Structure 1
């Protein structure tokens, strides 16, 4: 496990093996949610000049459906699909969230999720919108501001004595050991649990559709953050068919995808997993996302906390407020652009996946 910023070319890449993107109906579902609108796509010529490419566009996910990150897209669709299935109904027969809430009127359910921040808050928001409860499990190093934001959605929060991966295990055990009223909405998979995290991946495809509508031409390079790999899988499935090269980025302190690609199989990385990129501090790739990561990533970069802070400042300079995890994609390009084969004709897409997670820390990092 390296502690230095590095980049690794994926010898297993085979775009022909990438699986198709999301099914129909997801974008229509998102449009039915309160306050849906496409998030901004920011043209950043200053970043293009710095990287020596034709263009850089930044998809700004700092405010999505009233939440400070893109995660609500996956959590909302996965929750919707899971609960519709639980009621024994066909998804086409339930017309949006208000209809589902009415159908759940006489049910008492608890949505359960492990999180390093934004996914758990999004699940808690869905529980509140549906008139249900939420129980969110978080790792011990979760910053207080994130915990309070989850509690602010009306959820109960349990701090697990361990890492994000141990919080995932605790959430799975809670579902197994408790009554059928607990429903796990996880963005990572394990043996026997694949449908829900598959729907999370599908939900992120709305970003792909929006970008392709907002750009005159598709990007030739897409850089994507990687925690367990759900978001990266969605970007791979969505943009590989357009001919884009995909670059993955993760913290050096939690480089589980890079180490897995080196090994040619899913492996777990150990250690504190304590990067400031808290949303990416994951020790094991999702088995469900893994085939897409292996086939679809051209390069994987492991970036340091200093790299992330540099990228936060660069994004602030082009008017995008980005948290540490949100800036990780750009961090890979700034740290390793010359090794990634970027050219003067490349059209680059960066997704800033979250806003400032701790405003005081953000202001300190960007010098405000």
Structure 2
């Protein structure tokens, strides 16, 4: 484990786990079958990224590009849609089989009015609001006070009621939890005491990403990646990555990445138990500005991650520009996974990190670009105004 240089507070923190475990797992084809019935479903692209590969010093880098997923600019709709429908089924089902959402919406009408409630830093709340609109339900979305206007407007554009909390994302989560009753269903991607069912379904919903990747790699006759980087806010996406790539003896190593100023997973790994990162959390990686790890994700993160890294905003910006050269439009949170690998594999401790991850010039890595340019003005400023400064790894 290495800590940040105290004379350079914007350097990254890292934590290595040489004894990462694998877990029992099973495929979830029913989740993919469900997503195929949603409006606009198509597999998102798996992009070959030669500029990223060169910067990382590996043979090949692949980017799963989630900039357009089910007509939204981020992957979150996968978890929100599956969790919403599972929760509705649990409370009001069983429903008759349906092929289109309109058929499910018709079966919900006797139970109206119903409101879906969620706290969000942007993408999850918009996804929950979209599900509410598709199903003829209401949506009440709570957001931290520092969310940029473009993301707030996108949520309102889905027809949701937007409530701004004068505090952090974690405070918005706490406020959302108080609204739960028979007419207000909280669809959260983080768990807390007594609330794990819905967040578990959110994690299940993300499995579609990895089923698609397996199919895309197999169609090209390509092997599984040696290392996968996963963004970490509360840890739900990283938990889904671990369930897939560390299941049933798979030996792919998983690297968790989070902002240096919202490093709740890294601090928890260092402490050996969940700890909170106090706010404010001002990182530009807004979707990852979380101060508390989900207790549902924690055991998987603790035991399954081969490495964890907390990176400064400048690394996310480097990665955004580098991914743009490979034809991928990736927002600040979307590029964080690539930014984490850049930090691990190009900084002074790169050789030790490569050895810990078993990486060589022949290795293949996978990153998930979890969002497109959800803040278009910031994207233009970061990507168009500066040149890429990352040197290729030797």
TM-score w.r.t. the length of structure 1 is: 0.95
Query: What residue is the counterpart of 2:109 in the other structure?
Result: 105
From the superposition, tell whether residues 292 and 135 of structure 1 become closer, same or farther in structure 2 (CA, over 3 Å).
same
Rounded Cα–Cα distance in structure 2 between residues aligned with 1:39 and 1:297: 25
Aligned position for 2:388: none
Aligned-residue offset at 1:4 = 2.9
Q: Which residue of 2 aligns with 1:6?
A: 12
| Contact preservation (8 Å) 1:256, 1:282 | yes
| Shift, 1:86, TM fit | 1.0
Residue matched to 2:230: 224
Matched residue, 1:364? 381
Secondary structure at the counterpart of residue 229 of structure 2: strand
Distance in structure 1 (CA, Å) of the matches to 2:66 and 2:54 = 23
Q: Secondary structure at the match of 1:259?
A: helix
- The 1-side partners of 2:12 and 2:185 are apart by 39
Does 1:286 find its partner at 2:291? no
Counterpart Cα distance in 1 of 2:99 and 2:57: 47
Paired residues of 2:15 and 2:266 also in contact (CA < 8 A): no
Correspondence 1:214 to 2:231:
no
8 A contact 1:21–1:202 mirrored in 2? no
The gaps in structure 1 that reach 5 residues or longer are none
Deviation readout 1:55-78 (Å, 9 max, x if unpaired): 000110000000000000000000
CA distance in 2, matches of 1:357, 1:171: 23
2:361 partner SS: coil
Q: Are 1:183 and 2:188 counterparts?
A: no
Cross-structure match for 1:296: 304
Structure 2: tracts of 5 or more residues without a match: 386-394
RMSD: 1.6
Structure 1: 4+ residue segments shifted above 6 A: none
8 Å contact 2:12–2:312 — kept in the other structure?
no
How many angstroms does 1:97 deviate by?
Answer: 2.6
Specify the alignment match of 2:59 in structure 1.
54
Q: Distance in 1 between matches of 2:190 and 2:25?
A: 19
Q: 1:286 to 1:22 in 2, by over 3 A?
A: farther
Aligned-partner Cα distance in 2 for 1:318–1:114: 33
Counterparts of residues 1-368 of structure 1 (less than 5 Å):
3-11=9-17, 13-16=19-22, 18-20=23-25, 23-89=28-94, 93=97, 95=99, 97-106=101-110, 107-175=112-180, 179-215=181-217, 216-241=222-247, 242-337=250-345, 338=350, 339-341=352-354, 342-367=359-384
Distance in 1 (alpha carbons) for counterparts of 2:58 and 2:167: 42
